Amino acid sequence: MHDSHSERMSAGETRAAGGLALVFAFRMLGMFMVLPVLATYGQDLAGATPALLGLAIGAYGLTQAVLQIPFGMLSDRIGRRPVIYAGLLIFAAGSVLAANADSVWGVIGGRVLQGAGAISAAVMALLSDLTREQHRTKAMAMIGMSIGLSFAVAMVVGPLLTRAFGLSGLFWATAAMALVGILIVAGVVPRAAGPLQHRESGVAKQALWPTLHNKDLLRLDFAILALHAILMASFIALPLALVEQGGLPREEHWWVYLTALLVGFFGMVPFIIYGEKKRRMKQVLLGAVVVLLGCELFFWAFGHSLRALVVGTVVFFTAFNLLEASLPSLVSKVAPAGGKGTAMGVYSTSQFLGAALGGILGGWLFQHAGLGGVFLGCAALALLWLGFAVTMREPPYVTSLRLPLSAASLQEVGLAERLRAVPGVADAVVVADEAAIYIKVDTQQLDRTSLQRLIDMAPATC
């Protein structure tokens, strides 16, 4: 609520956000590069079956989902850096194990170990420790963009690296990236004074139960689970369809993914702008799920030529990118004041569970029902998701503020209730142990002066 909102990020904040975005990107690159190549190159591994290759693709999601929130909480107790260093070393060890594997089980073990380096929550918490309130959203957006970019790069670089150095070379590259990540955290990312208690950036135990009982949040958790399950399962079938039905050698797949991701990225932008400006994100979301469903049915019915597969893949990625970009912002809109960090923790756990489920089910379906079975299975999941999504409410168009409170303000009874009465304030909660108040506001309806007056009466110390 001060002039500091117009300040630029300091050099330290820029280094922190840029460095941690790079750490995230390298790690996600290591996770994603395997996707376009494992179904085809993995067939050369001893003991490989489609079901086991599916397990190898999705296995990292299981350990990631189980360990992410505990690692985040551990970082509150022993510090962020030890958890991040340990996580990156575990990830590197998993990559080395997979690189040296000559059987499919070795690769599965490596992927399980890769996922055990579950540092997402600890990295986000460190970012919060190192950035001021008014720049935190910007810093989080940089990490979000780095994840999106690493996915796009992985789709292209994965096939090129594997063509040059084989599957083991790909895993050695991911091990090297994890070690570079450690050097970036040690050398580039500034030191924090200490862990910040901050409800928006980490999982708060008090907020966990209400989050798991919030139907709107559960719908979004199911949405990201379904989206990543469909993605992983599709990546068991698509590379094989390109080889078997499109006649495209596995070494040439990179240009299909490059085209799909470039067109998909620019194709989604107008829809997101329309949804946010016109406040019709629900319609945009539903439309994208329908397109995803249509793509899977299209692959099943018409995916018998290279042209059809490329067109289908381009449309698939447009819908996928749109959903991947808009779902996290919907979570932060729907989460109660002070509950965003917890809601995002549960959301990303659902995302990793979806990845594991998609890999495992996709491989099993391919083994028992062929390519068509995988596409139909994905279509059935999209249809189920559509059933859940139709019943969601239009999300509130709100942004979150966190305002520090003075000792005098903390003593005030009913401050949150009075703030909720201000037009445009959707929710407010005082968190005494952080000496802060979390507020969710609709910027189009907010009476800024009334809000400022109330806060000035309860003097804030920024």
20, 143 contact by CB (below 8 A): yes
CATH architecture, domain 207-397: Up-down Bundle (1.20)
112-154 tens-digit pLDDT? 999 999 898 888 888 888 887 777 777 877 887 788 788 889 9
| Three-state SS at 175 | helix
Answer yes or no: same fold for 10-190 and 399-457. Answer: no
Whether the CB-CB separation of 405 and 384 falls below 8 Å is answered with no
Which DSSP helix (H) or strand (E) runs through 66? Answer: helix 50-78
Sign for the CA dihedral angle at 129, 135, 141, 142 comes to: negative
Interaxial angle between packed helices 120-130 and 340-390, expressed in degrees from 0 to 180 and rounded to the nearest 10 = 130
* pLDDT (0 to 100) of residue 413: 72
Domain boundaries, the chain: 10-190, 207-397, 399-457
What secondary structure letter does DSSP report for 358? H
Report the top-level CATH class of 10-190: mainly alpha
Q: Token match 């990625």: residue?
A: 317
* pLDDT on residue 200: 60
Long-range Cβ contacts of 79-86 (<8 Å, 24+ apart): 79/195, 80/122, 80/123, 80/125, 80/126, 80/129, 80/192, 80/195, 81/126, 81/185, 83/119, 83/122, 84/23, 84/119, 84/122, 84/123, 84/126, 84/185, 85/182, 85/185, 86/117
The reported pLDDT for the residue numbered 5 is 46
CATH topology of domain 399-457: Alpha-Beta Plaits (3.30.70)
Alpha carbon distance 290, 25 (integer Å)? 30
For the chain, how big is the Rg over CA atoms in Å?
23
Question: Which of 340, 338, 247, 260 has its CA nearest to residue 295?
Answer: 260
Q: Name residues of the chain where pLDDT drops below 70.
A: 1-7, 193-202, 204, 408-410, 447-462
Q: What is the pLDDT of residues 19-58, one digit of tens each?
A: 999 998 898 898 889 999 999 999 999 999 999 999 999 9
Gap between the terminal Cα atoms of the chain: 9
DSSP secondary structure string for all residues of 300-318: HHHTTSHHHHHHHHHHHHH
What is the CA angle 339-347-54, rounded to 5?
165
pLDDT given at position 462: 36
pLDDT in the model for residue 240: 93
Burial of 399 (0-12, 13-18, 19+ CB in 10 A): middle
